[in-house]
Amino acid sequence: MKKFMDRDFMLNSETAVRLYENYAKDMPICDYHCHLSPKAMYEDKQFKNVAEILLGGDHYKWRYMRSCGVDEEYITGGKKWREKFEAFCACLQYAIGNPLYHWTHLELSRYFNINETVTAERAGSIYSAANKYIEDTGMSPSYLINNSNVAYVCTTDDPVDDLKYHKKIAEKGHIKAKVLPAFRPDAAINIEKSSFAPYIKRLSKAAGTEIKSFKDVVAALYLRIEYFHAAGCRVSDHALDKVPAFGGSAKKAFKKAIAGMPVSREDTEAYKAELLCALAAKYAEKGWVMQLHMSAMRNNNSVMFKKLGPDTGFDSIYDGEIAQNLSRLLDTMNENGALPKTILYTLNPKDNYVLGTMLGNFQSAGVKGRLQFGSGWWFNDQRDGMEAQLRALANLGALPNFVGMLTDSRSFLSYTRHEYFRRILCNLIGGWVENGEFPDDEKTLEKIVKDICFENAEKYFGFNK
Residue 304 pLDDT grade (very low, low, confident, very high; cuts 50, 70, 90): very high
The per-residue pLDDT of the chain, averaged, comes to 96
Asked if residues 65 and 91 have their Cβ atoms less than 8 Å apart, the reply is yes
- Which H or E element spans position 240? strand 235-240
Task: Determine whether 299 is exposed, middle or buried from the number of CB atoms within 10 Å of its CB (0-12, 13-18, 19+).
Answer: middle
Task: Determine whether 77 is exposed, middle or buried from the number of CB atoms within 10 Å of its CB (0-12, 13-18, 19+).
Answer: exposed
pLDDT, residue 109, reads 97
Residue 46 is given by DSSP the state P
Torsion angle (degrees, nearest 10) of CA 169, 173, 179, 183? 40
Give 96-130 pLDDT, tens digit per residue.
999 999 999 999 999 999 999 999 999 999 999 99
Residue 239 is given by DSSP the state E
Work out the average pLDDT over 392-408.
97
Asked if residues 123 and 89 have their Cβ atoms less than 8 Å apart, the reply is yes
Between residues 409 and 184, which one has the greater pLDDT? 184
Residue 232 pLDDT grade (very low, low, confident, very high; cuts 50, 70, 90): very high
* CA–CA gap between residue 252 and residue 60 (Å, rounded): 40
Q: pTM (2 decimals)?
A: 0.97
The beta-strand segments (E) located in 302-426 are: 316-317, 341-346, 371-373
* CA–CA gap between residue 341 and residue 370 (Å, rounded): 5
In angstroms, what CA-CA distances link 392 with 148, 237, 289? 29, 23, 22
Residue 188 pLDDT grade (very low, low, confident, very high; cuts 50, 70, 90): very high
Work out the average pLDDT over 143-172.
98
Of 237, 340, 367, residue with least CA distance to 291: 237
- Residue 465 confidence (pLDDT) above 80: no
Give 357-399 pLDDT, tens digit per residue.
999 999 987 888 999 999 999 999 999 999 999 999 999 999 9
pLDDT, residue 6, reads 94
pLDDT, residue 284, reads 97
